[in-house]
């Protein structure tokens, strides 16, 4: 019960809408050190970055960890409650029309031209990559500072400055499967009955299912990230049949759940996030982040600023964002298996053997260590999926919000009840 | 200054109103108003990012879509979800009543010394010193495929394959609920049992009643208020739950609370409000039915 009332304040404020926005004046600017309230999911809120910012810029970052659902809810209903929004690109389709985020001035972002073309053009090393779903390039630019729609062509106003992104695929337990896995279709292979899992986040779960449907040749989607009602019905029918047949052991919703399912042997194949696979491996349990021939489902996150920001806080936010792209943070994130938005500065902040392992797909010349000193990968190991270009180049689709989102959510609830 | 009797009555009336005002205001502000707002919003329309304050039945229509056409897809999502939730309610209610009553009976009638009784009663509440999420999650390593129970069963040669139904199943959900909520029955029942006049039991025995007859005809009727209060606790908790069903059911079992949570996470507040209104109405109906069975206010 307590969990349900949690949404109360948000909902109330939501209804009061404009009135609340007008009443709540921005916090009084205290003289002295600037404190920036940073709302985002806990996964990206590293103490290491916070400490380094304090040291380099004298800015205090105050992390406000919320779930990814709450990131959207906060941005739409409580734009006064943060100074920096750490959002994912797909969320923008919900947030931007609310007018609560404003475009960032490209002229104030020093390394704006260095941002990887994955975001600006949707290509990598000159090759176009999959753009189904909410690909970042589709929601990267606004026509004006306070635009509520997206611009298809690059402009001076950026929605988010990318911080981290990655290509997601299935995690498997090679010791329990004992044969090569090469296709998404294996997720619903009856051979793994009762030992598979997917995310219980409707918009992501349905895309993983769509990868399976396409892999088994049942249907070819025009856009997996923006299905028609008929396509949603078809995809959910495939999922429902699998669920009724007992294919899934459980669904997971957060990082630790996915680690526990895999490490405890409850599942042997499931959709997963890269650091979760690393975590399972560091527990001494064999686990592979399996590249699949149909490609990856990618996601990307970035930093945005609310319309309420002004004065010193706005300046500090730009300073922070410029700092974020200047290399230290990029190297920090690359070392965790994510990718940074500006690669040149990240490279300068990494040891050559680290860069070779994480970005070039070469065997580790020496042990790869986590920031706390524990060994993540032994010398000689190769990153699953290989190099940056091999992994990001094989992206098939991006996490998305569909036009038929309402319908999809209803169908998902129906699926859970089936 | 003396005041005439009517004035005095009026001023005590005003004083009473003033005394009741703080609680009334708090309840009005933090209970009645949000509830009304929920009811109102349930008739609103919505888009991806905003609420549209126009009266519509869309949320209710979508909730009950397909519920009145008895085709091959029946029951519809909503009915299916409620049936599943009600099933857990009945199972958990049954188990917690039997176990809770037994424990309370033991504490109230079998223990002679007040010290032991207090000590054991406190012992019952000890698990509540940890969070209920932790108490629930600690079942997972126990019941898992490679968990302690399965390993013991295999070692004892009772089964040669690990039992999958121990975890992420109806069984594990009911087990966790019973574990979490039995105390909510034990405490009010214990309270009722302690108030029973022991001479009634002696009189029944003198009149030749057997132990079962005393239990059935004397103790249980007198423990009715405790049983009803405990039942209300358990039913309300299970009806509104989505965390326990989610975690122990491996997120594969539907619950009304989960539906509401998913809708809220997609900013579909009106749809969630409509679900909440229907859930509230149903729970109120159950409580009315239960309080019909016993007049709690009179019996307390």
Residues of A with Cβ-Cβ distance to B261 under 8 angstroms: 3-4
Give the list of residues 6+ apart from residue A188 with CB closer than 8 angstroms, or none.
A196, A212, A216, A238, A242, A247
Tokens at A232, concatenated: 């949603």
Within 203-232 of B, beta carbons closer than 8 Å to A belong to: none
CATH 3.20.20.105 is the classification of domain B74-299: no
Is the CB of A401 inside 8 Å of chain B's CB atoms? yes
A179 and A211 share one domain = yes
Least confident of A18-27, A383-392, B15-24: A18-27
Closest-CA residue to A157 (of A18, A307, A35, A299): A307
**How far apart are the C-alpha atoms of B268 and A87, rounded to whole Å?**
19
- Using CB atoms, which residue from B141, B147, B251 is nearest to A250? B251
Asked if A288 contacts A280 with a C-beta cutoff of 8 angstroms, the reply is no
Contact A264 B147 (CB under 8 A): yes
Report helix, strand and coil shares of chain B as percent, to nearest 5. Answer: 75, 0, 25
Q: Token pair of A17, please?
A: 């809408």
Whether A87 and A356 have beta carbons less than 8 Å apart is answered as: no
Residues A315, A262 within the same domain: no
In a domain, A360, yes or no: no
What sections of A246-302 are H helices per DSSP? 255-263, 274-282
Output the domain CATH number for residue A192.
Answer: 3.40.190.10
Torsional class of A301: left (φ above 0), alpha (ψ -120 to 50), beta (otherwise): beta
Q: What is the mean pLDDT of residues A169-174?
A: 96
ipTM over 0.85: no
In the three-class reduction of DSSP (H, G, I as helix; E, B as strand; rest coil), residue A122 is classed as coil
Per residue in A104-156, pLDDT (tens digit) is 999 999 999 999 999 999 999 899 999 999 999 999 999 999 999 999 999 99
Strand, coil or helix: A297: strand
- Residues of chain B predicted below pLDDT 70: 1-10, 298-300
Residues A219 and A278 both lie in one domain: yes
* Domain range enclosing A171: 167-297+378-417
To the nearest whole percent, how much of chain A has pLDDT over 70?
92
Dihedral in degrees, nearest 10, Cα atoms A84, A89, A93, A99: 20
Of B34, B144, B164, the CB nearest to A8: B34
Residues A55 and A86 in one domain: yes
- Asked if residue A399 belongs to a domain, the reply is yes
Kindly provide the b/e burial profile for residues A15-32, where b requires at least 16 CB atoms within 10 angstroms of the residue's own CB. beeeebbeeeeeeeeeee
A276 belongs to a structural domain:
yes
pLDDT of residue B7: 64
Measured between alpha carbons, how far is residue A269 from residues A343, A386, B161 in Å? 32, 20, 20
Give the number of other CB atoms < 10 A from CB of residue A180.
Answer: 10
Q: List the domain boundaries for chain B.
A: 74-299
- Clarify whether residues A141 and A64 are in a common domain: yes
* Per-position b or e across A146-166, b if 16+ CB within 10 A of its CB: ebeebbeeebbbbbbbbbbbb
- Whether the CB of A4 is below 8 Å from some CB of chain B: the reply is yes
Could you give phi then psi for residue A368, rounded to 5 degrees? -95, 125
- Taking CA–CA distances from B81, the nearest residue in chain A reads A417
Rounded (5°) CA angle A150-A162-A151: 15
Q: Is B251 on the interface with A (CB under 8 A)?
A: yes
Same domain assignment for residues A273 and A225: yes
- Three-state DSSP at A115 gives coil
Q: Which of A348, A366, A386 is the last residue before a domain boundary?
A: A348
Give A-chain residues touching B164 at CB under 8 angstroms.
194, 249
Cα–Cα distance between B65 and A416 in angstroms, integer?
Answer: 16
A57/B29 Cα distance (integer angstroms):
44
Residue A19: per-residue pLDDT: 42
Q: Mapping DSSP to helix (H, G, I), strand (E, B) and coil, where does residue A365 land?
A: coil
pLDDT tens digit string along A255-309? 889 999 999 999 999 999 988 998 898 888 999 999 999 999 999 999 999 999 9
* Cβ-defined contact of A202 to B262 (cutoff 8 Å): yes
DSSP B167-214: SSSHHHHHHHHHHHHHHHHHHHHHHHHHHS-HHHHHHHHHTT--HHHH
CA distance A307 to B172: 48
Question: What is the band of A3 on the pLDDT scale with cuts at 50, 70, 90?
Answer: very low
User: Which residues in chain B have their CB less than 8 angstroms from residue A94's CB?
Assistant: 48-49, 267
pLDDT at B47: 84
Percentage of the residues of chain A whose pLDDT score is greater than 90: 77
Given this model, what pLDDT does residue B238 score?
A: 95
Last residue of a domain, one of A309, A327, A348: A348
- Are A234 and A123 part of one and the same domain? no
Least Cα distance to A143 among A158, A160, A122, A133 occurs for A158
Contacts of residue A68, Cβ cutoff 8 Å, sequence gap at least 6: A41, A88, A91, A201
| CA distances from residue A390 to A26, A84, A361 in whole angstroms, order as listed | 46, 32, 9
Higher confidence at residue B297 or residue A363?
Answer: A363
pLDDT at B71: 74
| Residue A17 clears pLDDT 50, i.e. is over it | no
Task: Return the axis-axis angle of helices A68-77 and B256-265, rounded to nearest 10°.
Answer: 60
Q: How far apart are CA B89 and CA B237, in angstroms?
A: 9
The total number of structural domains that make up chain A: 2
Asked if B144's CB is within 8 angstroms of A194's CB, the reply is no
Q: CB of A175 within 8 Å of any CB in chain B? A: no
pLDDT in tens, A338-358: 999 999 999 999 999 999 999
């Amino acid at each position: 019960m307590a969990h349900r009332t949690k949404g109360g304040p948000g909902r109330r404020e939501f209804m009061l809408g404009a009135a609340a926005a007008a009443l709540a004046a921005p916090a009084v600017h205290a003289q002295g050190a600037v404190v920036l309230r940073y709302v985002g999911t806990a996964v990206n809120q590293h103490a290491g970055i916070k400490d380094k910012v304090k040291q380099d810029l004298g800015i205090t970052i105050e992390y406000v960890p919320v779930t990814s659902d709450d990131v959207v809810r906060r941005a739409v209903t409580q734009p006064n409650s943060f100074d920096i929004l750490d959002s994912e690109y797909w969320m923008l389709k919900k947030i931007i029309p609310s007018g609560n985020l404003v475009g960032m001035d490209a002229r104030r972002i020093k390394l704006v031209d260095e941002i990887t073309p994955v975001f600006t053009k949707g290509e990598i090393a000159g090759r176009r990559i999959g753009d189904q779903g909410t690909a970042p390039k589709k929601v990267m630019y606004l026509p004006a500072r306070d635009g509520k729609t997206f611009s298809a062509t690059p402009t001076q106003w950026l929605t988010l400055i990318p911080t981290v992104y990655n290509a997601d695929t299935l995690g498997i337990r090679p010791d329990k499967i004992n044969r090569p896995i090469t296709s998404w279709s294996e997720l619903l292979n009856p051979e793994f009955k009762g030992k598979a899992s997917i995310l219980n986040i409707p918009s992501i779960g349905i895309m993983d299912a769509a990868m399976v449907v396409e892999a088994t040749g049942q249907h070819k989607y025009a856009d997996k990230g923006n299905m028609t009602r008929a396509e949603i019905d078809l995809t959910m029918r495939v999922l429902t049949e699998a669920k009724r047949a007992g294919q899934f052991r459980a669904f997971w919703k957060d990082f630790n759940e996915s680690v526990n399912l895999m490490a405890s042997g409850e599942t042997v194949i499931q959709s997963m996030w890269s650091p979760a696979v690393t975590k399972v491996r560091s527990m001494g349990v064999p686990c592979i982040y399996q590249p699949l021939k149909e490609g990856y489902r990618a996601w990307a996150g970035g930093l945005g600023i609310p319309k309420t920001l002004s004065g010193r806080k706005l300046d500090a936010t730009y300073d922070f964002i410029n700092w974020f792209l200047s290399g230290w943070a990029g190297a920090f994130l690359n070392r965790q298996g994510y990718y940074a938005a500006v690669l040149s500065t990240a490279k300068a902040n990494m040891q050559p053997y680290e860069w070779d392992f994480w970005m070039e797909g070469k065997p580790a010349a020496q042990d790869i260590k986590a920031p706390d000193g524990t060994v993540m990968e032994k010398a000689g190991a190769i990153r699953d999926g290989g190099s940056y270009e091999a992994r990001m180049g094989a992206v098939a689709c991006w996490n998305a919000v569909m036009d038929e989102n309402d319908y999809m959510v209803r169908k998902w609830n129906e699926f859970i009840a089936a | 200054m003396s005041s005439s009797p009517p004035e005095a009555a009026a001023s005590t009336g005003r004083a009473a109103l003033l005394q009741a005002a703080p609680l009334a205001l708090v309840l009005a502000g933090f209970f009645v108003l949000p509830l009304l707002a929920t009811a109102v919003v349930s008739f609103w329309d919505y888009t991806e990012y905003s609420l549209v304050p126009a009266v519509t039945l869309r949320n209710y229509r979508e909730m009950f879509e397909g519920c009145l056409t008895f085709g091959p897809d029946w029951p519809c999502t909503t009915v299916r979800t409620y049936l599943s939730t009600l099933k857990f309610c009945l199972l958990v209610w049954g188990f917690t009543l039997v176990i809770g009553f037994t424990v309370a009976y033991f504490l109230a009638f079998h223990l002679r010394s007040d010290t032991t009784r207090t000590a054991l009663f406190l012992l019952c509440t000890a698990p509540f010193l940890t969070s209920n999420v932790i108490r629930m999650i600690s079942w997972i390593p126990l019941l898992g495929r490679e968990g302690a129970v399965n390993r013991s069963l295999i070692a004892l040669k009772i089964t040669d394959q690990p039992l999958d139904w121990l975890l992420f199943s109806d069984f594990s959900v009911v087990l966790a609920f019973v574990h979490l909520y039995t105390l909510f029955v034990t405490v009010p029942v214990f309270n009722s049992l302690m108030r029973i006049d022991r001479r009634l039991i002696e009189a029944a025995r003198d009149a030749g009643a057997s132990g079962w007859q005393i239990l059935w005809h004397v103790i249980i009727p007198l423990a009715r208020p405790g049983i009803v209060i405990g039942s209300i606790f358990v039913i309300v908790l299970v009806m509104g739950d989505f965390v326990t069903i989610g975690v122990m059911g491996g997120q594969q079992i539907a619950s009304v609370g989960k539906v509401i949570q998913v809708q809220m996470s997609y900013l579909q507040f009106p749809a969630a409000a409509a679900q909440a209104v229907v859930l509230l109405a149903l729970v109120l109906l159950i409580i009315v039915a239960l309080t019909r069975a016993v007049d709690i206010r009179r019996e307390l």
